[in-house]
Amino acid sequence: MNNINSIAIFCGSSTGKNTAYEAKAKALGSYLGNNNYHLIYGGGNIGLMGAIANAALEAGGEVTGVLPHFLNRKEVGHVDLSKLILVDSMHERKQKIEQLSDAFIAMPGGFGTLEEVSEMLTWAQLGLHQKPIGLYNINGFYNPLLSQLDVMVNEGFLKAQNRAMVLTGTEPEKLIQSLNDHKPVRVPKWLKPDQS
């Protein structure tokens, strides 16, 4: 079992078209706050980012935001967090979030969310960390991506063991339980064809 105290959440700076996204963001934020998980996220006060941070804070949780200076200047920084860390770049933001977190969850979002969770998966695949990574698959949002990952395995671009790093769930409690229960498997990235 993993010793998870802090969970990074990657999610959209918009709320999306379906009201379920914001409702589920609030449910996850409340769950984190009520169960003493420290929320680490991108520091914004808009969209799903703001929804999950506010819900965690309202539940008495600790919330740390990591925000590049240029985004803070555009007044999207959340001013009521337990802690707001300002950094110089988007890359530094991801590094700091990874350092502060014991696990990662991607909620629905756009390019930024996809890029963030993809980088955490890549770092895990390369052995840079062994922290569990989950997708909060609200309203089947990530079903197409999960299908694409299966195509990557079938076509020989992704190892099945690395595909198994992507945990999924539709309810906060079950998803976080799967993060806690996950046992990482170290798989060399580059193998000869007869070793796959």
CATH of residue 44: 3.40.50.450
Q: How far apart, in Å, are the Cα atoms of 5 and each of 36, 125, 149?
A: 8, 22, 29
> Do β-strands 6-10 and 166-169 pair in parallel, antiparallel, or remain unpaired?
unpaired
Residue 158 to residue 65: CA distance in whole angstroms:
32
Range list of β-strands (E), 62-132: 63-68, 83-87, 103-106
Q: Is there a domain that residue 194 lies in?
A: no
Name the least confident of 55-64, 74-83, 161-170: 74-83
Total domains in the fold of the chain? 1
Where does the pLDDT of residue 196 fall: very low under 50, low under 70, confident under 90, or very high at 90 and above?
very low
CA distance 136 to 48: 12
In a domain, 188, yes or no: no
CA distance 151 to 132: 22
Give per-residue pLDDT as tens, 92-124.
999 999 999 999 999 999 999 999 999 999 999
Question: Is residue 191 domain-resident?
Answer: no
Asked whether residue 189 carries a pLDDT value surpassing 70, the answer given is no
**Inside any domain, residue 190:** no
